Structure 1
Amino acid sequence: MKHILLWAAAALLAFAPVGGHADTFPSRPIRLIVPWPAGGSTDVSLRVLANAAARHLGQPVIVENRPGAAGTLGVTALLQAKPDGYTLSQLPMGIFRVPHMQKVAWDPVRDLSYVIGVSGYTYGLVVRSDAPWKTLKDYLDDARKRPDAITYGTAGVGGTPHLNTEQLAAAAGVRLRHVPYRGTADNLQAVLGGHVMSASEATGWGPHVDKGDLRLLATWGAERTSRWPNAPTLKELGYNLVSSAPYGIGGPKGMDPNVTRVLHDAFRKAMQEPEHLQVLARYDQPLLYLGSEDYARFAQEAFASEKALVERLGLRSAD
């Protein structure tokens, strides 16, 4: 009888839940890294999403800002984290592009777990309201006369606004001078302060356009935005350039599929919460939901397509 009891106890221990498994996860706060400065559109929208997800998870989701390196510092943090679901990061499109531009210590397909696709951005080119260019044509005509004289700021080398603007410059046959900053907030302050002549950026510029401090010359969407319908798209201006830069949330490689499912389900519910939909509408961002498997497939496709884009634009750094 004693042996039977010991065997039964051992069996119970063998099948008892341990930290990180779905039946006990989460048992403590979760860290969500936002690889951009506080106060930008990504930071604001992800803080709202994190608060909504926390209600469904039963634990706080604490946002940590790690700006710099074109939004890739979240991936760097994930490489150092345990794959237990307690460290997550926003995954911007730049993570699929930067490895083709310079040497990095990670592979976005091999080294990450993909939890959920969330949203994308409305990108635009803005100038100060007192700038001499009333239209994108004015801006590009001036750039054609003065190669490398017109500066544009972005949130970092290799980020989507950088690649977007380089594609536009190539299509228009002009040369612009790129000035990278650490994030949207710094970039917008630079153009408002006259330190750069224009800014290529996601819709953090929205409030400044609404107030009349900045002029929106064009957007990169497939259609005109609902909030700024007077601004034309590049597509309608004759440039076959459309970009929304989908992003989502991921973790370190090797995460327990059950933990991934718990996180996915909580964030999917949070995405539909009214406060999250409201903040996306404020920045004219669409919901771009992808489940974990579809998001992982998207990552593979994006990694390949971004390589082709970098090579076409000649943006590979010398090794």
Structure 2
Amino acid sequence: MQRREWMAGAAALLSGVTVGLPAVGQAQAQPRTPGGFPSRPIVLICPWPAGGSSDAVMRAFGDSLSRQLGVPVVVENRPGAGGTLGASAMVTAKPDGYTITQLPLGVYRLPHMQKMPFDPIRDLQHVVGLTGYTFGIVCTPDAPFRSLQEMVAWARSRPGQLTYGHTGTGTTPHLAFEEFAHKAGFTTQDVPYKGSAEILQAILGGHVPVMCGTMEFVPHVRAGKLRLLATLGRDRNKAFPEVPTVRESGWETVSESPFGIGAPRGTDPAVVRVLHDAFHRTLDDPKVLETLERYYQPVIYMSTDAYTRYASRTFEAERATVIRMGLAGKG
């Protein structure tokens, strides 16, 4: 119950999102469409490298989806381009439900920053919202600061000398850190990586002293190999109640990042419903919940209609963010 209460509480922070888990034990065989969908393997694109938290989470969903639908689900990694290669693939994929993708927040942001091969509203069928990332700022134990305030003071006194890694240009950790740095009054040297696994290897290898990314750094923080300076949610993370948020440290920067599943525009509504219902039931799968808890990701369920409305709202909100940060039209 504590796990479910924490997940539901975290999800409730997101306005307009339906929060909740289906009752335990409701998973059952998914009925097929009149056309027989699905009758062959489904490709689920994970637009991040293998080995990271996103990869682990999508593979847990894929395994559960396979059990729900009775066909193989192949998770295909397509890292790069700020996590948008899955959305790009939807433009040319057949709208038959056999090629689907994770849709991270950058899908709604990057089209405002550079020319992209897709329009997130016109070219994508939003299927279901599932969960979301939690972010934090960590440093190496030998960094010349031990708190977020000390890091800001250090960076202010050495303009442009603070180097930090993030999960890719235009991704949420990148923009969140840049917004925080702007509000805190210091400049940086940012180093983009292709995803959480790469950035974690970089900071553990001493290639960057600071990173902004997902909570898969937790085991290394607990082992003393990294130091958590702050988290980026509205409230403190229950895993580290002693660690302040960036917001309560004095800089109004909050970053929460829900995501779900998309398909090509024009996918048969009956196929969309089969996929939606099956993914909805994966949120009752103990193996999925265990994986989400391992990476501190709450359940953030959105129906097809709610997820579609969320996408439109987010697309416009990200446009405002990009303009505010002076990034419109930059690549």
TM-score (norm 1): 0.91
Residue 262 of structure 1 deviates from its aligned partner by: 0.3
From 258, 277, 282, the equivalent of 1:270 is 282
> Where does residue 224 of structure 2 map in the other structure?
212
2:76 aligned with 1:64: yes
Describe the superposition over 1:35-69 as per-residue Cα deviations: whole angstroms up to 9, x where unpaired. 00011111101111111111111111110000011
* Greater Cα shift, 44-53 or 260-269: 44-53
Cα distance change, pair 162–251 in 1 and its aligned pair in 2 (3 A):
same
CA contact (8 A) 1:226 1:284 kept: no
> Where does residue 182 of structure 2 map in the other structure?
170
* Greater Cα shift, 299-308 or 231-240: 231-240
**Is there any run of 5+ residues in structure 2 with no aligned partner, and where?**
1-31
| Aligned positions, number | 300
Percentage identity across aligned positions?
A: 50
The 2-side partners of 1:79 and 1:71 are apart by: 15
CA contact (8 A) 1:154 1:179 kept: yes
Residue 21 of structure 1 deviates from its aligned partner by: 4.6
The 2-side partners of 1:247 and 1:257 are apart by: 21
Structure index of larger Rg: 1
Matched to 1:150, the amino acid is L
The 2-side partners of 1:178 and 1:169 are apart by: 11
TM-score (norm 2): 0.88
CA contact (8 A) 1:22 1:259 kept: no
2:44 aligned with 1:29: no
> Where does residue 47 of structure 1 map in the other structure?
59
Residue 240 of structure 1 deviates from its aligned partner by: 2.1
Residue 239 of structure 1 deviates from its aligned partner by: 2.1
From 147, 150, 165, the equivalent of 1:135 is 147
The 2-side partners of 1:166 and 1:179 are apart by: 12
Matched to 2:325, the amino acid is L
Residue 318 of structure 1 deviates from its aligned partner by: 4.8
Residue 181 of structure 1 deviates from its aligned partner by: 0.8
From 299, 302, 317, the equivalent of 1:287 is 299
Residue 316 of structure 1 deviates from its aligned partner by: 2.4
From 174, 178, 182, the equivalent of 2:194 is 182
Residue 256 of structure 1 deviates from its aligned partner by: 0.5
Matched to 2:151, the amino acid is Y
* Greater Cα shift, 269-278 or 254-263: 269-278
CA contact (8 A) 1:204 1:283 kept: yes
Describe the superposition over 1:170-219 as per-residue Cα deviations: whole angstroms up to 9, x where unpaired. 11111111110111111111111121121010112122112111111000
CA contact (8 A) 2:180 2:252 kept: no
The 2-side partners of 1:218 and 1:96 are apart by: 26
CA contact (8 A) 1:72 1:95 kept: yes
Cα distance change, pair 77–145 in 1 and its aligned pair in 2 (3 A):
same
Residue 155 of structure 1 deviates from its aligned partner by: 1.2
The 1-side partners of 2:221 and 2:200 are apart by: 11
Describe the superposition over 1:120-153 as per-residue Cα deviations: whole angstroms up to 9, x where unpaired. 1110011112212110001111111111100111
CA contact (8 A) 1:120 1:286 kept: yes
> Where does residue 86 of structure 2 map in the other structure?
74
CA contact (8 A) 1:88 1:249 kept: yes
2:207 aligned with 1:195: yes
The 2-side partners of 1:220 and 1:43 are apart by: 22
Matched to 1:155, the amino acid is T
